[in-house]
Structure formats: structure tokens, C-alpha cells
Amino acid sequence: MTHLCEETPVTVVNGQLPGPAIEVTEGDSVAVHVINKSPYNMTIHWHGVKQRMNCWADGVPMVTQCPIRPNHSFTYRFSVAGQEGTLWWHAHVSCLRGSVHGALIIRPRHGASSYPFPKPHKEVPLVIGEWWQTDLGQIDKSLAVGFFGFNPSSATLNGKLGDLNNCSSGGVTEEGYVLEVEAGKTYLLRLINAALISEYYLKIAGHRFTVVAADANYVKPYATDVIAIAPGETVDALLVADAAPGRSYYVVALANQPSVANPPSRSPWAPSAATAAPSPASAAGASSPSSWPP
């Protein structure tokens, strides 16, 4: 893939970053056939699935299964009985989960009308990730010897680096993730932090959230204008498009990292930019560190 004017080899699923969302219904039996065409050993972990009496489908290499070797395949079979909400799947070998990941959405058996909150107009998976302009396998080797001198080049929203990032030569602006909304409508954001290490803070300018679930468990709803989400965590939040219509609003995904005197020009301290295009109401995007909070 080419970002920030450089081509970087990336391991992904089905040519997508993030990988395809898997959507099932509570009570379903799930079968996923994984064909490993990468040069690495591979397993897939179903993050948050309880795997009752079914540990061999948990995807932990050398514990619940042998890794899937290159040019080999494996079929995962598991049940999602008794669970509903937002979970995710990711590679469980090396640091490959930094690019091999995607949403796992378990819908209620009786449909959206059975949510313990008003039925949203639309549901939107939003994956916070990171763009590493380096070999993720090398990061893992460095961690193994107690050294970690790497930083991601950018945060991402649904795989997009956003319009705050550009190439130092040529000034090519990166594409941002766009969420178009309608005035007055309610949206269920299914947030996933797929970053390797960092907790992230998420904010949408001019809007507030109502958090209704975390890690596929409903919670007592609470309102906030900033959501803190740890690596591996999922949060479901309602967003009402109640700001002035006809405008664009930025989304900020800001890493919780200690400040440094002279951080790199592109580092995890810089939020991802995801520019929103105005729709009948408006939408989502990100801002620069100098304008935090929006």
C-alpha cells in the first residue's frame, strides 16, 4: 500500500484495511475459512467471543492451535450464543494484528427494535488503527529483545490517514474517512481500538456521545463529549446529528502517549484526520494537535 508518498508492504485480509466486517446474529454458529497466502504463520483470534467448551477456536498460537502455515488453511467454528454487540477479530501472531483485523458485529436475535435504547437510523463501524511505515514483523523482533524504538506514522479511521497528513515532497494530501449524516438522525457508532499499544481519545467537533455498551456488554447510558478507548476495547455510542447542517465537522483520534520535546513530524501524538463531506446535515473528520480540543 502507498501512503505518505512511500510504498509499504502490508499484510491484510481480502485486500482491505481494516479487513471485512463479519456480521452475525446472537445464537448463530459461525464458520470462517482462513486461507493463509502471507509469508507468515497466522492465527485469528475472535476478541471477546466466550468460546465456551470451544477453546480450540480461540486462535492462540501454540496454545489452542498450531499456527496456520503459509499456503495452508484452517476453518474456525464457534457459537455466539448469549452475546450481542461489537467485538472484533485480529491476527494473534507477531504484531500482525496492526493490519490484520476487522469488526465482529453480533446483532440481537430480535432485531434492532430490541436494543435497550432508541433504534438508531444507521449503524457505523469505526475502527481506530495506526499506519506503520515499517515491517510489523520487525517491531515484534525488537520487542522480543526489550527494545521499542518505533512509532506509527499516523493514526487511522477505518484505514484512512486523513487530510492532516501530506507528503513532505509534493504536498499530496491523504484521503480521509467520511461519515455523511442527516440532520436530527441518531447513529450508532461501533468503535474499535485496533491500535497495537495506545489508548485513544475520540471526539467529534460540535457533538456529544451517549455511550451504551462496552466490549459487547450494555452499560448504563452516559453522555460525554470525549470517549477514551483502550487498545483491544470496543465501545458502542449513540451520536445525534444535531449540529448546524450544511457544514463539515472533524473527528479527532488522539493517542494517549507521553509528550516529547521534539516529536517526529508524523507520530502517534498527531491525531488522524478524517475529513467529512457535508450532507443534508453534516458529518465527521479530525483536527491538528494545535487545535485540540476542537
For the chain, the maximum distance between any two Cα atoms, rounded to a whole number of angstroms, is 56
The pTM score is 0.86
pLDDT of the chain, 294 residues: tens digit per residue: 888 888 888 999 999 999 999 999 999 999 999 999 999 999 999 999 999 989 899 999 999 999 999 999 999 999 999 999 999 999 999 889 999 999 999 999 988 888 999 999 999 999 999 998 887 877 877 777 776 667 788 889 999 988 777 776 666 778 888 999 999 999 999 999 999 888 999 999 999 999 999 999 999 999 999 999 999 999 999 999 999 888 889 888 888 864 433 334 333 333 343 333 333 333 333 332 322 333
d(CA 207, CA 219): 21
Domains and CATH numbers, the chain: 2-115 (2.60.40.420), 125-291 (2.60.40.420)
